[in-house]
Amino acid sequence: MGLFEQIINAIDSNDSQGDASQINSNLSTMQQLSNNMGADPNATQSALSIVGNYVRGALQQKQSQGGTEAAQSIVNQYSGMQPSSQAVNSLFSSSQVEQMVGEIARKTGLNMGIVQQMLPLLIPVVLNMLRSGTHTQNPQSGANPVLNAFLDADRDGDVDIADAMQLASRHFDR
């Protein structure tokens, strides 16, 4: 089952933290970010996709070092709608941030300074999408199907957080 389907299942489940308002908040935050930065929404969407790939790699590393619970802990701690430089610093070294900023700037045409400003909000938004599958009774458990689908450790690797957000936007007619 794909990431989008896992998100929709989490929204429909009483055992998961996800709900439609959480998804709508993510979508609104992305629109506001584009508007506030004067960025083309398509460029912001592409930036989110690239950030999602980097977040996946960082969470996979956390998972390999400390199990799924370690990755879930990062999701629980840093997900949200507020900018968080701590989220950036907890997942990435300064060289990884430079690499990510450079890739986003090259692929989207966004100014590197704007990309640098976007990261502290894009990363918590990605983590917030992943939090939708967090179990309500035991949030530290690794039983988060959304996070597990995102990490996609044993499948084809074809997971894109930006695509999931676009599908959610269509699903909620935004």
Q: What is the pLDDT of residue 112?
A: 96
Domain that holds residue 166: 3-171
80 torsion bin: left (phi>0), alpha (psi -120 to 50), beta (else): left
pTM more than 0.85: no
Closest CA to 60 of 74, 45, 77, 50: 74
CA distance linking residue 134 with residue 167, whole number of Å: 20
CA distance linking residue 76 with residue 74, whole number of Å: 5
Closest CA to 163 of 150, 148, 144: 150
DSSP label at 40?
-
Summarize pLDDT for 45-90 with one digit per residue, the tens: 999 999 999 999 999 999 999 988 999 999 999 998 899 999 999 9
Q: What is the pLDDT of residue 141?
A: 64
Q: What is the pLDDT of residue 65?
A: 93
Q: What is the pLDDT of residue 142?
A: 61
Domain count, the chain: 1
Q: What is the pLDDT of residue 25?
A: 77
Closest CA to 126 of 60, 54, 62, 43: 54
Residues 6 or more apart in contact with residue 168 via CB below 8 angstroms: 4, 7, 8, 23, 26, 27
Contact 4, 126 (CB under 8 A): no
Per-residue pLDDT of the chain (174 residues; tens, 9 = 90+): 577 677 777 777 777 777 777 777 777 888 888 888 888 999 999 999 999 999 999 999 999 999 889 999 999 999 988 999 999 999 999 999 999 999 999 999 999 999 999 999 999 999 998 888 777 776 676 678 888 888 875 455 445 566 566 655 655 555
Q: What is the pLDDT of residue 160?
A: 59
